Amino acid sequence: MPLRNRVTPFGDIIETSARGLLYGNRGVLHDGDRRLVRTWQVRRWIACRLEYKGRRRVDQMPPGRFTYLYFLDEATALAAGHRPCAECRREDYRRFQAAWPGRSSKADDMDRMLHAERVGPDRSKLLHPAALNDLPDGAMIAEEGGAWLVVRGRLLEWTPFGYEEVRPRRGSRTVQTITPPSIVEAIRRGYRPMLHPSAGPSR
């Protein structure tokens, strides 16, 4: 039976048999019975490599340790508000820092800015208005109750197993962006998130 540890672009944690390309954490979210009792504990939300220096994740919800969370791909992790891990994804982290639009790219400062953009006072996910034709490839928007990836002039519908329905990206309408504004700007400045193979070949 799958655990409730897969993250959607909206930051929700769901139960599904789908596998992901990255994992990460937000602190200790589970209790002694492996039930989620909170959606986040700390401000530092990171996305990590599945394998690093032979480390093994035998228990996905170890007692008193952080809860392992999984993402379809990096675009999903970024939309949810996670950033690259500075240890296991050092090169990606440096690229992310170089593209960061804030006054400081120190980890604590990035995390503080991201937390203000991704979570509201009631702990719910924040969405941000933006012009559709101004969004870079790799950003995600909310539409018709779902999440859609912006890529190569198209909108791809997100599912836990990959991207499915394809729509042309047309018009200059205002949309609700799931990806936090600072990350959207980092992508616009050159950071290229890793996409699931179902999104099609990279440019």
pLDDT at 195 (0 to 100): 97
Tell me the backbone φ, ψ of residue 181, rounded to 5 degrees. Answer: -55, -40
Task: Write the CA distances from 2 to 6, 47, 50, 96, 143, integer angstroms.
Answer: 9, 20, 17, 32, 28
Residue 42 has pLDDT above 70, yes or no: yes
Residue 98 has pLDDT above 90, yes or no: yes
What pLDDT digit, counting tens, does each position of 44-73 carry?
999 999 987 766 666 788 787 889 999 999
The angle at the Cα of 181, spanning 111 to 194, to the nearest 5 degrees, equals 80
Average pLDDT over residues 27-33: 90
Cα 53 off chain centre by: 23
Residue 116 has pLDDT above 60, yes or no: yes
Task: Kindly state the tokens that stand for 183.
Answer: 């990350």
Residue 155 has pLDDT above 90, yes or no: yes
Residue labelled with tokens 């991207």: 163
Strand pairing category for 22-25 and 162-168: unpaired
Task: Write the CA distances from 69 to 57, 126, 147, integer angstroms.
Answer: 11, 20, 19
Residue 29 has pLDDT above 80, yes or no: yes
The span from the first CA to the last CA of the chain, in angstroms, equals: 37
Q: Domain extents for the chain?
A: 4-199
Tell me the backbone φ, ψ of residue 68, rounded to 5 degrees. Answer: -75, 125
Cα 43 off chain centre by: 14
Band (pLDDT 50/70/90 cuts) for residue 203 is very low
CA distance 73 to 68: 15
Average pLDDT over residues 94-121: 96
